[in-house]
Amino acid sequence: MRLLVVEDDKDLNRQIVSALEQAGYAVDRAFDGEEGCHLGENEPYDAVILDLGLPKLDGVGVLQAWRRAGKAMPVIILTARDRWSDKVQGFDAGADDYVTKPFHMEEILARVRAVLRRAAGHATSELVCGPVRLDTRAGRVTVDGNPVKLTSHEYRLMAYLMHHVGRVVSRTEIVEHLYDQDFDRDSNTIEVFVGRLRRKLGVDVIQTVRGLGYVLQAPTGQP
C-alpha cells in the first residue's frame, strides 16, 4: 500500500515516514501544500496523512483541490489546532479522520490501518481469503494457522492483493502501489514476486488473468 505524508516539520515528517515504512508501506513525502497537492493529484495513493498548517497552500485548500479533482483516497488530517470548528472544517473539506498533535505514532499507524480497511470494505484488522489470513496490525501472514515468512516487498504485494480480494489488478497498478516515487520500478519484477508468493503460500489463491493481471480468490468451496 502506497501512502503520502504532507507535513512541513521535517523532523516529524521523517518520523512518520520511518514508522510507516517500518510497518511495510511505500511512502512518499512532501513539505508544503503545493508539492503535496501536485503529488496527490498525479499519483495513485491508497491514503494520505495531511497537515493543516502548511506553507504555500494550507491543508484544507489541498484537500478541497483533491476532492474537486475527484480524488477519493482516504485522508487523515494532522493539526495542532484543537478547536471543534477546525475539525468540522477539515471533515467538511473531505477528511476521513483527524489526529491532534502531539500524538503517539501507534495512533497514526492504527488510524492508517483503519482507513485502508474501510476503503477496501473490510470490518476488522484481519483480512481473510480461504486458508490465508493477513493480520494488518501484526504484519503477519498465515496459511491454515501456520506463519509464512515474507520479505518486505512480498508482504506489500500480499497486503495489496488481500485488500482487493476478488478484483483483478494489473501489474501496472501493483507497481504504482508497491513502490514510492523514487524507486526504480520494473513491472516484470511483479511476476517474480507472485511466483515467490505462490510457492511460500502453498495454496492456489493467486490466479493469473491473461492479458489483465492477477486476482486473489479463495479456492473453490472456501470463503
Q: Do the Cβ atoms of 54 and 6 come closer than 8 Å?
A: yes
DSSP, residue by residue, 60-98: HHHHHHHHHTT----EEEEES---HHHHHHHHHHT-SEE
> What pLDDT is stored for residue 223 in this prediction?
60
The pLDDT, as a whole number, for residue 110 is 94
Model pTM score: 0.83
Tens-digit pLDDT profile for residues 77-134: 998 866 777 788 888 999 999 998 889 999 999 999 999 988 888 878 899 999 999 9
The answer, yes or no, to whether residue 220 has pLDDT greater than 80, is no
Distance, first Cα to last Cα, the chain = 24
CB neighbour list of residue 193: distance below 8 Å, 6 or more residues apart? 153, 154, 157
**pLDDT of amino acid 183:** 67
Percent helix, strand and coil across the chain, each to the nearest 5? 40, 20, 35
Helix 105-119 to helix 10-22 angle, to the nearest 10 degrees? 60
- How large a percentage of the chain has pLDDT more than 90? 71
Q: Phi and psi at residue 72, in whole multiples of 5°? A: -110, 10
Residue 218 has pLDDT above 80, yes or no: yes
What sign does the CA torsion over 113, 118, 122, 123 have? positive
Give yes or no for a contact between 59 and 52, defined as CB atoms under 8 angstroms apart.
yes
pLDDT at 222 over 80: no
Beta bridge partners of 58: none
